Amino acid sequence: MSTMPVLGVIEGFYGRPWTAAQRGRLFERMAAWGLNTYLYAPKDDRWHRQEWREAYPAAEAESLRALVEDARQHGVRLVYALAPGLDLDWANGADRRALAQKFVSVQRLGIEHFSLLFDDIPYAPDRAAQAREQVAATHHVLDALWPDGQAGLMLFCPTEYCAERARPGVASSPYLRALGEGLRPSVDILWTGPQVVSPEISVQSILEVNRAVCRPVLLWDNLHASDYSLHRLHLGPYAGRPLDLRAGVAGILSNPNNPLEPNTPGLFSLADYAGAAPDWTPETSLDRALEVWLPEFMAVPAHPVTLEDLRLVAHMLYLPGQLGPQAVRVLTVARQVVDLQTGAEQRASLLEELRAARRRVVRVLRALEAGPNRDLLFDLHPYLVDVVEELNRLMVGATQRGEDDPEAFLYRGSLADHLMTLGREN
């Protein structure tokens, strides 16, 4: 049972969109966990953004129709988003017509809820004027879809979609004010929090934006998004949002990791947060999520995985800029291992601890390799192998220290990996 009127998932990332089969699995899980809404907005569906004017070719239109049906069968509300902002020319009558026609063409496929996205586009010199055009475009679409009055959701993503993009600030932004005053109250406004990826969102920050846009915002939450770095995958709980936040928003939609399978902890935990009692914590929520996830790793009795093993994996790939406690411990131990001040005896016991951590990760990897959920294996494989390899490198380096492998501690990797080590402490 859903605990918020709009609660669910945005397929809103850059990169390869999910397949029909992946979306089907997502809907099953959403239904089981009480997530009621799926926003279709894959940045790299050509007809969603780059070629927004074009109707879907027959095969793609058929896939969309089947997707709506799949969502409906699972009791999930599907919202279709169009992102015309890269080159929509509102002064041009042909563009106005193309916009309305595109929405109506999608409506004919059975879609009942819609969204207009103006994120990640250039700002106009006069942002208030840009907002007024976007408002006009939205109302134009509403009238084309529902001449007798709005009958489904309309979600609007602003160009200033988080506090760090609001100029000069949230409370004083002419852009946000023009939206708030201009957009019909029936239109929901999406908001990602203080930042594009917000590790924390305070109630106060939400009340401030709600005042600016004259309605409770709908959270587009990028906490678990992974499309901006190869090195990231977020297996931590829904966190950094106080429970009181729920009363201040119109709903929450998570734009999660690109790989679908590793989204179980984050999405389960979002559902758990939405219905939580006052003693809820992200840590206990993660425990519940991992218990739900564990059976996926346990299909082959010869390769058992424990909750502790899975917890270490989740802590290694936790949340933006944050490791979970078990991974913090591994990092502390690894730092001591490479510290020249560490004595031989202590190093030996630290190495034993690192070996134990590596064994846990390898256990998870072996279980996946032997198991039936190949997608879960393929999604996690690069990240698990990466950690195992780096642990190996450290351990070999530490045991050969002072002998014949001066290269062992050198960083290997691509240019991006080298750049990552510059200009920051760690």
Yes or no: say if 203 and 241 are a contact pair by the CB < 8 Å rule: no
Binding-site size, ligand GDL (CB under 6 A): 16
Which residues are bridge partners to 117 per DSSP? 157
Per-residue binding letters, 245-274, with ligand GDL (x by CB under 6 A): ----------x-------------------
Which two tokens mark 188? 């929901």
What is the smallest separation between the CB atom of 355 and ligand GDL, expressed in angstroms? Answer: 36
What is the smallest separation between the CB atom of 111 and ligand GDL, expressed in angstroms? Answer: 20
Yes or no: say if 337 and 351 are a contact pair by the CB < 8 Å rule: yes
- Give how far Cα 248 sits from Cα of 4, 30, 201, 319, Å: 12, 23, 11, 23
| Cβ neighbours of residue 79 closer than 8 Å, sequence gap 6 or more | 37, 38, 39, 40, 113, 114, 115, 153, 155
Q: Is residue 138 near ligand GDL by the rule CB under 6 A?
A: no
Which two tokens mark 179? 């939206």
- Residue at token pair 């089969």: 21
Query: How far is Cα 174 from Cα 101, in angstroms, rounded to an integer?
Result: 30
C-beta of 210 vs 326, nearer to ligand GDL? 210
C-beta of 199 vs 397, nearer to ligand GDL? 199
What is the smallest separation between the CB atom of 219 and ligand GDL, expressed in angstroms? Answer: 11
What is the smallest separation between the CB atom of 116 and ligand GDL, expressed in angstroms? Answer: 12
C-beta of 215 vs 311, nearer to ligand GDL? 215
Q: Which of 228, 378, 409, 411 binds ligand GDL (CB under 6 A)?
A: 228
Yes or no: say if 265 and 239 are a contact pair by the CB < 8 Å rule: no
- List 45, 87, 120, 227, catalytic entry: 120
Q: Which of residues 299-338 bind ligand GDL (CB under 6 A)?
A: none
Q: Which of 70, 133, 188, 227 binds ligand GDL (CB under 6 A)?
A: 227
Q: Is residue 220 near ligand GDL by the rule CB under 6 A?
A: yes
What is the DSSP-derived secondary structure letter of residue 322?
A: B
Yes or no: say if 224 and 254 are a contact pair by the CB < 8 Å rule: yes
What is the DSSP-derived secondary structure letter of residue 37?
A: E
Per-residue binding letters, 142-181, with ligand GDL (x by CB under 6 A): ---------------x---x--------------------
Does the annotation mark 120 as catalytic?
yes
Q: Is residue 196 near ligand GDL by the rule CB under 6 A?
A: yes
Residue 318 is which amino acid? Answer: Y
Yes or no: say if 382 and 342 are a contact pair by the CB < 8 Å rule: no
Binding residues vs ligand GDL (CB under 6 A):
12-14, 43, 119-120, 157, 161, 192, 196, 220, 222, 225, 227-228, 255
Catalytic residues: 120
